[in-house]
Amino acid sequence: MAQQPGGEQAPAEAGEAAGESHDLLGSVPGSSGPAESESLTTVLVAFGVNVLIAVAKTAAAVVTRSASLVAEAAHSWADAGNEIFLLIANRRSRRPPDRAHPFGHGREAYVWSLFAAVGLFVAGAAVSVTHGVQELMHPESAENFAVGYIVLAISFVLETVSFLQSIRQAKPEAEEMQRDLIEHVLATSDPTLRAVFAEDSAALIGLVIATAGLGLHQLTNNPVPDAVGSILIGALLAVVAVILINRNRRFLIGQEADPRVRKAAIQALLAAPEVARVTYLRLEIVGPRMVSVVGDVDLTGDDTESRLAVRLRALEARICESPAVAGAVLSLSAPDEPTLLV
């Protein structure tokens, strides 16, 4: 008879699961506990860095009157504001399940991260491009270039600190899921990690563009390169924002777990002594490192219907012992349903 296998120990796309425990799907790759606190650390580091940099860039933009520095200041203020959304996402997504939300509140992480991505587009990209265009139409020479270079250099160092923290979190997770770093950042179910990594990457590239624009402005005594730098920074932020918006959209409408996680879950279920066959399995991401499990399995033996129902509920309970499983719904397979192959 079939049952819906529900829970693998690993998280859906981020590939993180519970540790070595007594839960049924403990063999599925990943570990979720430490990663949650690591995500909070990553966001807090990024927030502190962006506030410091935003203040410094704003002061430098006023002193130098550089269009690229104005764009960079807008960029950093947008990033700092976005970290607040990410902190809210991290907190609200951890609320426990209730009657109205039996699978928990994990998807709230994607809602607030979506707000952060939209904020990056509006407060970062739009402001930078608009200011650059205005500077092209009404050029204004910059001054005190040394101040700009010093602030940009300090900003590069601080942004690197934040970027290295996001790499520190992402790299072990990527290795466990057998992904390269960029692939994992794009695929992970943790939107805060993806947002910080993407924003810090864009920040480092933006600093290089701003330095080039400021330098060309000084060398040529022409504000056009500076204005073009502002526009390029805005375009860069727009691309990053669109990518983040699209990724959050996909998780909100429903994203299945990585095929490697699904395969590991099927193998773990088949290894259970009470499971004869697995005929259907769906692992859907319902939050950072959290999946819901729906499946059909054939149980061993030839028990009565009432006894089978008890065994199904017991199997669901074992699956749900995994911290990576938000809920499991199991059904019995029909005799003619084909077995899933791994």
**Is the CB of residue 67 less than 8 Å from the CB of residue 135?**
yes
For the chain, the straight-line distance linking the first and the last C-alpha, in angstroms and rounded, comes to 19
pLDDT tens profile 40-61: 888 888 889 889 999 999 999 9
Would you kindly state where each structural domain of the chain is located, as residue ranges?
33-255
- Burial bucket for residue 220 (CB in 10 Å: 0-12, 13-18, 19+): exposed
Contacts 24+ apart (CB under 8 A), 118-122: 118/241, 118/245, 119/78, 119/81, 119/82, 119/85, 120/78, 120/79, 120/82, 120/199, 120/237, 120/240, 120/241, 120/244, 121/237, 121/238, 121/241, 121/242, 121/245, 122/78
Q: Could you report the per-residue pLDDT of 276-330, keeping only the tens digit for each?
A: 999 999 999 998 888 999 999 999 888 888 888 899 999 999 998 888 888 899 9
DSSP structure string for 232-243: HHHHHHHHHHHH
Kindly report the pTM of this predicted structure. Answer: 0.79
Count Cβ atoms below 10 Å from residue 284 Cβ, excluding itself. 17
User: Which residues partner with 332 through β-bridges?
Assistant: 297
pLDDT tens readout for residues 187-222: 889 998 899 999 999 999 999 999 999 999 999 999
Residue type, 305: E
**Across the strands, what pairs with 291?**
285, 325
Q: Which CATH number applies to 33-255: 3.20.20.70, 1.10.3720.10, 3.40.50.720, 1.20.1510.10?
A: 1.20.1510.10
